[in-house]
Amino acid sequence: MEVSMRGQESFEEWALARQQRFVRSAYLMTGDFQRAEDLVQEALIRAAQRWGTLHSGQPDAWVRTVIFREHVSWWRRVRRETLTDQPPEGTHCTPGEAPVMVQAALALLTHKQRSVLVLRYIEDLSITETATILGVSSGTVKKQSSVALARLREIAPGLEELVEERS
Amino acid sequence: MKFTDLVDEIELPTTNVAQGAWAAARRRMRRRRTAVVGASAVLVLVVSAVALRGAPEPAQPFVEDPVSVGPFVATDFPADSDKVRSESNLPARVTEDDVRADAPRLFDEPIEQAVLVAATVYDFDERGYDDQRITFYGTDGETRSLVLSDLGLTQDEFQGVDGSGLGNLSPDGRRWVFATTKRIVVLRLADLDVVSLPVPDGLQPINATWTGAGTITYGVAEKYSLTVETDLDGSVTRRGSPPSRVFRDRDGRVYRFQSDETSRLLISEPGGAEVSLSYSLEDGEFGPGAINPPGLSSFVDDLGDDTDFARDDGDSALKLFKRVDDRLVPTARLQWGDRLTGDEILGMPTSDSVLIRHGEDLCLWAPFAEQAITCLAEISDRLGISVAFDVVRID
């Protein structure tokens, strides 16, 4: 029981500290805050189920992988994109123009493009790591990155100098 | 300022998703333990009964004791099934070049029945119906190319993405259904009759497919969990938020999985009666699966996400179930040496076989056949496909 309590304490301490960051990444990928919360909640429950072995490893990376794979599974299952020329509703933007531009620009990308950008440029993963999570080849990641960045430059030219294409 | 810094400045509501995660995880683990204890008790009873009765009967094709299930282990599909391939009605190999190659236009030379449709999913991005071609593989061995603009679709209803533009063949391969942003379109191949079905409340339909009972079901883009089912005359027969996975057989029975709390499969008869079947899973929860349209009693289970995912690239497991009294009992298990996702489980051509697409292989898992796994075709993983299950010959 004592061990279990310690496990619960360490899990909750870790999860509380990271939940906002996880939801932010999931939101950037999905464009839907509710869906982002659902994805993160499911990933955290799974993490708690195996916390005994996970906490001594890399739980952040594991949860991130679950979140992204679940999202990939969903979009493959649904197989559609909702392309819009408006930023997502129901979210709050700061008065600064650039964050608003980022949010709007990401909303204009496809799921694939958004996922690649979030993984590569926000989660700062390598091409190989990104390819592994998305279940595609490295070549596909490179191509999608390039396409996504080109689209980002086109729809939000002000962001160009903030995002540099990486090989 | 860096891109990541900008992202951090996007204000989002404060989340509290971590709250309760630990307790929810404990509940799931308790349910699983309960299932294991139950299965063990069954085993003890079976062993006791055998001991009392003497020698067991010769082995039956279906093993009903969950503890005795499988495993059929496969890390790669075998690819030495020329006999089955040649008789399956499916083309043995489909590449991107094949799909892009010129073929007679379907609207110039219609076909009676197709076994497969394929399209290059990556071509769907940001193009219009004039550019969009879908290749139909007829049961006569010939191919036809459908240019979507032939259906009279307008550019403003183009759903420019991945496999959604591919549509789905009916189980008998004689019709094909397709969703635009505004409506559902059904094409009868033989006479090119096009029926346009309205979508209620101006919602955007997605992922239109066949129920097995001749009706069509589709999701709604604006609401993740809402599904609509419609007859071919456009009348909505069912609309609601499914609790989990929902299937319908040809006799009109609706199968709904209650996987989160109750672990039951509810079968609604056309007349309104409802049967509730319990199931237990010793190692996970129900994931995506399929039901065999005529067989009624079997479905498959993808357990990969929940139990084995912790092993990084981990294994997945598929299970085949049958109905025994008021229970669903696993009869075979396929342990997978690679991650298998729900959308790779295409369907069940018979009540004891599952069509799986993994990588470039389109294969049949038929656990009680002499060769448990048989590959029927090689199809480029850059192609979206839809299969007419009744037309795939697996004898």
Provide the pLDDT for residue B56: 36
Q: What is the DSSP letter of B291?
A: B
Q: Which of residues 69-108 of B touch A (CB under 8 A)?
A: none
Per the CB < 8 A criterion, the answer to whether B381 and B344 are in contact is no
Cis geometry, peptide bond prior to residue B200 (ω within 30 degrees of 0): no
Query: In this complex, do A124 and B207 lie within 8 Å of one another by their Cβ atoms?
Result: no
Q: What is the DSSP letter of B207?
A: E
Residue A129 — very low, low, confident or very high, per pLDDT cuts 50/70/90?
confident
Is residue B156 within 8 angstroms of chain A, CB to CB? no
Distance from CA of A51 to the nearest CA of B (A): 9
Query: In this complex, do A24 and B164 lie within 8 Å of one another by their Cβ atoms?
Result: no
How many Å is the maximal CA-CA distance in chain A?
57
The string of pLDDT tens digits covering residues B10-49 is 778 888 889 888 888 777 766 554 544 444 454 444 444 4
Query: In this complex, do B10 and A24 lie within 8 Å of one another by their Cβ atoms?
Result: yes
Query: In this complex, do B7 and A66 lie within 8 Å of one another by their Cβ atoms?
Result: no
Q: Establish, for the pair of chains A and B, how many residue pairs have beta carbons separated by less than 8 Å.
A: 148
- For the CA atoms of chain B, what is the radius of gyration? 23
Instruction: Give start and end residues of each alpha helix (H) in A50-166.
Output: 51-54, 59-78, 97-107, 111-117, 127-134, 138-155
Residue A94 — very low, low, confident or very high, per pLDDT cuts 50/70/90?
very low
> Rounded CA gap, B358 and B355, in Å?
10
Provide the pLDDT for residue B94: 92
What B96-101 contacts at long range (C-beta under 8 Å, 24+ apart), as own/partner pairs, is: B96/B120, B96/B380, B96/B382, B96/B383, B98/B135, B98/B143, B99/B133, B99/B135, B99/B383, B100/B133
Kindly list the residues from chain B whose CB atom is less than 8 angstroms away from the CB atom of residue A155.
Answer: none
- Interface predicted TM-score (ipTM): 0.72
Q: Is the pLDDT of residue B309 over 50?
A: no
* Whole-model pTM over 0.80: no
Query: In this complex, do B7 and A53 lie within 8 Å of one another by their Cβ atoms?
Result: no
Which whole number is the average pLDDT over B359-383?
82
Does B143 or A1 have the greater pLDDT score? B143
Nearest of B331, B313, B314, B310 to residue B322 by alpha carbon: B331
Provide the pLDDT for residue B161: 43
Lowest-confidence segment of A136-150, B131-145, B336-350 by average pLDDT: B336-350
Distance from CA of A126 to the nearest CA of B (A): 15
Nearest of A65, A78, A68 to residue B313 by alpha carbon: A65
Q: Is the pLDDT of residue B259 over 70?
A: no
Return the residue in B14, B22, B134, B223 with the most chain A beta carbons within 10 A, the one to mutate for interface testing.
B22
Q: Which residue of B has its CA nearest to A77?
A: B343
The string of pLDDT tens digits covering residues A10-68 is 899 999 999 998 998 888 888 788 888 888 998 898 888 888 777 777 788 778 878 88
Does A167 or A150 have the greater pLDDT score? A150
Q: What is the DSSP letter of A119?
A: I
Cα distances from B365 to residues A7, B64, B74, in angstroms, run: 41, 18, 10
Kindly list the residues from chain A whose CB atom is less than 8 angstroms away from the CB atom of residue B310.
Answer: 50, 53-54, 62
Q: Which of residues 12-71 of A touch B (CB under 8 A)?
A: 12, 15-16, 18-20, 22-24, 27-28, 33, 35, 37, 40-41, 44-51, 53-54, 62, 66, 70
Q: Which residue of A has its CA nearest to B225?
A: A78
> Rounded CA gap, A117 and A111, in Å?
10
Kindly list the residues from chain A whose CB atom is less than 8 angstroms away from the CB atom of residue B25.
Answer: 45-49, 51
> Rounded CA gap, B342 and B339, in Å?
10
Q: Which of residues 318-357 of B touch A (CB under 8 A)?
A: 339, 341-343
Average pLDDT, chain A: 72
Share in percent of chain A as helix, strand, coil (round to 5)? 75, 0, 25
Distance from CA of B225 to the nearest CA of A (A): 11
Distance from CA of A161 to the nearest CA of B (A): 9
Query: In this complex, do B12 and A33 lie within 8 Å of one another by their Cβ atoms?
Result: yes
Q: Which residue of B has its CA nearest to A112?
A: B162
Which whole number is the average pLDDT over A77-95?
40
Q: Which of residues 66-125 of A touch B (CB under 8 A)?
A: 66, 70, 73, 75-83, 91-94, 96, 98-99, 102-103, 110, 121-122, 124
Q: In degrees to the nearest 10, what's the CA dihedral of B197, B200, B201, B202? A: -30
> Rounded CA gap, B16 and B34, in Å?
30
The string of pLDDT tens digits covering residues B57-83 is 333 333 334 444 444 555 445 544 454
Per the CB < 8 A criterion, the answer to whether B363 and B374 are in contact is yes
